[in-house]
DNA sequence: TTGTAGGCGTTATCAA
DNA sequence: TTGATAACGCCTACAA
């Protein structure tokens, strides 16, 4: 390994001179410019690179943040890719490195948690979905001096900074859009209280009465949390069989939207002419589906970036508080937005 | 920060004793079992975690590998997610950490390259697409003692170990499948020599004559490399307008498959009855499209895992050579596989 | 059975 | 203008 010492010996100068020259720390004095160039050239020639462990040991800073993500997520939605890109871009901006780990079970999470300390990283980002995370463990880690920022829908604990997506707004934005598109009987596929609240809010603001019969509560029909296309399909089927009249469907994922549209098409209802549909995630496939899908974009990239920025501030001992990211409406054909 | 020293002082014992106890290195001698427990308990109570910088400095091992990925990729295909999962799982198995960085330009790549050395990581994984990568730089890094494994279709250089996907096989597997499904006039959307070779190979093995007119060479029609749904659409349109008769289409992505099917549907050709279509990537949306898509899965997760395993071997000074991963056929309705 | 010393590569301070 | 030295936290060999 090429060290400062080896460069210095090669040139017959002292180690500390090489260090100063390479770091541009020569104080007010002048080293011979020729010597400076010589040293720099030699270091480059030998392929010298600073040993980050030594720097970290000395400075007490790792220049690295840890990222623990639950490995699931709605595959194909682009959420994880975008989240990672957002984190990566911010990390790069702050000249830090990112140490990424996935976990799939509580054991794996606790296994990772062992390494979460100042001796290994300057801060920790935890996110994707709350499953398997131990709030006590995170508090313990933070109390041991490692700043943490989580990326969940809502904060796990008042003392742990969180960057979430406003799920109330997710529900509201989609519903509001369909209302503006002329829908008056909007059904909702739901498995999240906040989104239901947003749905109700939008209806209320438009003076439309809320009816419980217009909501398909996923957990009453499926063991899992839904989000798959089969849920969209079943929900629409359920509404039809129960004689619920509707001209709009607010789903909770793009997959559900696909399922809903597949079923509507099968029973010869036209989208968006007869029924308008909007989903959540703005998945990449939205734009090239036979009927392009309108969707509420949750902006995971922004979430990752903001979370990283906040973590950097926390590392710098600044006070930060939890944040909610606003979702964005993306209008395409399934809600009658872009017909030509 | 909790250090060995602080634990030792708290207990009034020596630092080295704590070190020995926590590492289970007490040799043949016996420390009082009670004392061992006491030390362990105290360390846990104080939240002691080994300082990885200090260990790395001492051992010369970072216990960390770097991953440099180009940030593009076919969004929504799940390739990047799966690649990362594969790398992550293997990294975890080897008790290493993964330092992830994305780059989008040559400058960014070279910016990352500066940090690629033994003083920061034990090895380096580079992949996704070859764009902006400097082969000379990688060679320089490797010559400076950092083992590298790339994840590209083909090796950049004989001295840099590569884990690729056999693109010849990708072309062959899809074509062969359509032949087995009864197709005899198979057209091909193409922008990759290896896949074209695979396409020809499959035809040859089946005794079907290759005709250049059956291939839509993407670069003759588009400035970019294609892979989007518009390419599939245009390609099918092109074949129709040129009077090419076909009963099967081998595309080079699932997006192209969607575009092709969209166009075929528009001109009232039925998939898979009249025309069978197969794509590449086995993207998550394949299974819930109105017509579920058959696809050739490139197994990026396996690629990432194998690349990481090989890198670990390289780090251990073992000789390794480049590897090609076999693609896998996934049959669904678009090729007439799963009709019910 | 327990404690001490040296060194990993770097930087900052102080001395020459 | 340049060089020597201590310190960061840990581990290993060796001394007591």
- The alpha-carbon gap from B48 to the nearest alpha carbon of chain A, in Å, equals 9
- Residues 37-56 on A with a CB inside 8 Å of B are 47, 49-54, 56
Residue nearest to nucleotide D3 (CA to C1'): A14
Task: Count CA atoms within 13 Å of residue B57 on its CB side.
Answer: 17
Average pLDDT over residues B191-204: 97
Instruction: Return d(Cα B163, Cα B151) in angstroms, integer.
Output: 5
What whole-number distance in Å separates Cα of residue B282 and Cα of residue B183?
21
Phi/psi of residue B224, nearest 5 degrees: -85, -175
| Average pLDDT value for residue range B163-171 | 97
In terms of average pLDDT, the best of A308-322, B22-36, B215-229 is: A308-322
Pick from B56, B100, B284: CB nearest A100: B100
Q: How confident is the model at residue A29 (pLDDT cuts 50, 70, 90)?
A: low
CA dist A225 and B311 (Å) reads: 38
More confident residue, B189 or B31: B189
Which nucleotides along chain D are within 7 A of a protein C-beta? Answer: 1-5, 7-13
Using pLDDT thresholds of 50, 70 and 90, give the confidence band for residue A16: confident
A53:B81 CB<8 A: no
**Which A residues 182-201 touch B at CB under 8 Å?**
none
In order, the DSSP letters of B187-204 are: EEEE--HHHHHHHHHHHH
Residue A83: pLDDT over 90: yes
Helix%, strand%, coil% for chain B, nearest 5: 45, 15, 40
Nearest residue to B76 via CA among B277, B258, B220, B285: B285
> What's chain A's average pLDDT?
92
Tell me what the mean pLDDT of segment B206-213 comes to.
97
Angle between helices A79-93 and A300-315 (to 10 degrees): 30
The 10s digit of each residue's pLDDT in A216-262 is: 999 999 988 778 999 999 999 999 999 999 999 999 999 999 999 99
Measured between beta carbons, the chain B residues lying within 8 angstroms of A228 are 288
Protein CA A213 to sugar C1' C15 (Å): 85
Across A128-137, A255-264, B10-19, B100-109, the highest mean pLDDT is recorded for A255-264
| Cβ distance of A120 and B52 shorter than 8 Å | yes
- pLDDT per residue as tens digits for the range B75-101: 778 899 899 999 999 998 998 889 999
Region B213-238: mean pLDDT is 93
Mean pLDDT, chain B, integer: 92
CA distance B182 to chain A (A): 27
Residue of B102, B112, B116, B259 to mutate, testing the A interface (most A Cβ within 10 Å of its Cβ): B102
Q: Do A53 and B54 touch (CB under 8 A)?
A: yes
Q: Is the pLDDT of residue A24 over 70?
A: yes
The secondary structure of residue A336, as a DSSP letter, is T
Q: What is the pTM of this model?
A: 0.91
């Amino acid at each position: 390994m090429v060290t400062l010492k080896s460069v210095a010996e090669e040139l017959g100068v002292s180690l500390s001179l090489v260090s100063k020259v390479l770091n541009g720390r020569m104080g007010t004095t002048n080293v011979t410019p020729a010597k400076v160039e010589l040293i720099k050239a030699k270091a480059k020639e030998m392929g010298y690179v600073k040993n980050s462990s030594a720097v970290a040991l000395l400075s007490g800073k790792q220049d690295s943040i840890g990222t623990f993500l639950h490995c699931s997520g709605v595959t194909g939605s682009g959420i994880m890719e975008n989240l990672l890109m957002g984190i990566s871009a911010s990390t790069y901006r702050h000249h830090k490195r990112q140490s990424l780990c996935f976990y799939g079970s509580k054991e794996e999470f606790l296994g990772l948690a062992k390494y979460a300390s100042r001796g290994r990283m300057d801060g920790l980002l935890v996110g994707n979905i709350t499953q398997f995370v131990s709030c006590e463990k995170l508090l313990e880690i933070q109390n041991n001096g490692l700043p943490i920022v989580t990326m969940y829908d809502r904060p796990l604990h008042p003392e742990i900074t969180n960057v979430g997506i406003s799920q109330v707004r997710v529900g509201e934005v989609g519903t509001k859009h369909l209302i503006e598109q002329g829908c008056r009987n909007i059904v909702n596929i739901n498995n999240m209280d906040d989104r239901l609240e947003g749905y109700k809010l939008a209806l209320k603001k438009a003076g439309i009465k809320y009816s419980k019969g217009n909501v398909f509560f996923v957990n009453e029909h499926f063991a899992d949390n839904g989000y798959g296309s089969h849920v969209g399909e079943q929900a629409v089927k359920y509404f039809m069989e129960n004689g619920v009249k509707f001209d709009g469907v607010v789903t909770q994922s793009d997959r559900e939207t696909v399922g809903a549209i597949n079923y509507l098409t099968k029973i010869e209802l036209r989208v968006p002419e007869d029924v308008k549909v909007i989903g959540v995630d703005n998945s990449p496939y939205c734009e090239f589906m036979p009927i392009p899908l309108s969707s509420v974009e949750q902006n995971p990239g922004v979430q990752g970036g903001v979370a990283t920025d906040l973590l950097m501030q926390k590392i710098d001992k600044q006070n930060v508080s939890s944040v909610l990211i606003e979702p964005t409406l993306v209008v395409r054909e399934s809600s009658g937005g872009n017909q030509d």
